[in-house]
Amino acid sequence: MNLKVLQWLLKHKNVLLQIVDVSKGFRKDAKYSDQWEIVDKIARLLIPILEAEAVVPKLLTWDVDALDTYENHDVSVLACGAEVQAMGIDYKLLIDTILPIIIAILEALVRK
Give 37-79 pLDDT, tens digit per residue. 999 999 999 999 988 888 767 666 665 545 554 456 555 666 6
Q: How confident is the model at residue 77, as a pLDDT?
A: 66
Number of Cβ within 10 Å of residue 63's Cβ equals 9
Write down the pTM of the prediction.
0.78
- Measured from the Cβ of residue 14, the count of other Cβ atoms closer than 10 Å reads 9
List of residues 6+ apart from 23 with CB closer than 8 A: 38, 42, 93, 97, 98, 101
Arithmetic mean of pLDDT over the chain: 81
